[in-house]
Amino acid sequence: MKPLLFKVPSIDDRSFRVEQDDLPHFYGKLHFHPEIQLTLIQQGEGTLIAGDRIDRFRRYDMLLLGANLPHVLRSDPDYFQPHSTLRSTLVSILFRPEPLEMSVLGLPETRHLKELLQESRQGVRFRCP
């Protein structure tokens, strides 16, 4: 499956964008974008595909997806059933890596953050109990 380039809507020159999704199911197409994406799953369960990694996602998982990393959140089949009352909600912060690299990541105190962002190239999932 070929990933689609997703253009994150931009209305001005802000450094980051916050998006809230509240849908019957998540956007189910493999896609990528030049922004780094930090996402909190508020409701929903399914399969996460990020690069060459396949994993499960669930409520309260946090995802850190690197720039240009192909990814998709595939909601479980129950979310597509007629008359389903299930919801898929998340909040994401999308930001370009360049401004961050030129400012904050140049500081010695942020070397661990720089390492974490390097790991995000493969996708990172934080699981809350």
* Domain limits, the chain: 14-126
pLDDT in tens, 36-68: 999 999 999 999 999 999 999 999 999 999 999
pLDDT in tens, 86-98: 999 999 999 988 8
DSSP code string of 57-113? E-TT-EEEE-TT--EEEEE-GGGGSTT----EEEEEEEE-HHHHHHTGGGSGGGHHH
Q: Which residues pair with 16 in a beta bridge?
A: 95
- The CATH topology of domain 14-126 is Jelly Rolls (2.60.120)
- Residue matched to tokens 């109990």: 129
pLDDT for position 9? 62
pLDDT in tens, 9-22: 665 677 789 999 99
d(CA 69, CA 37): 10
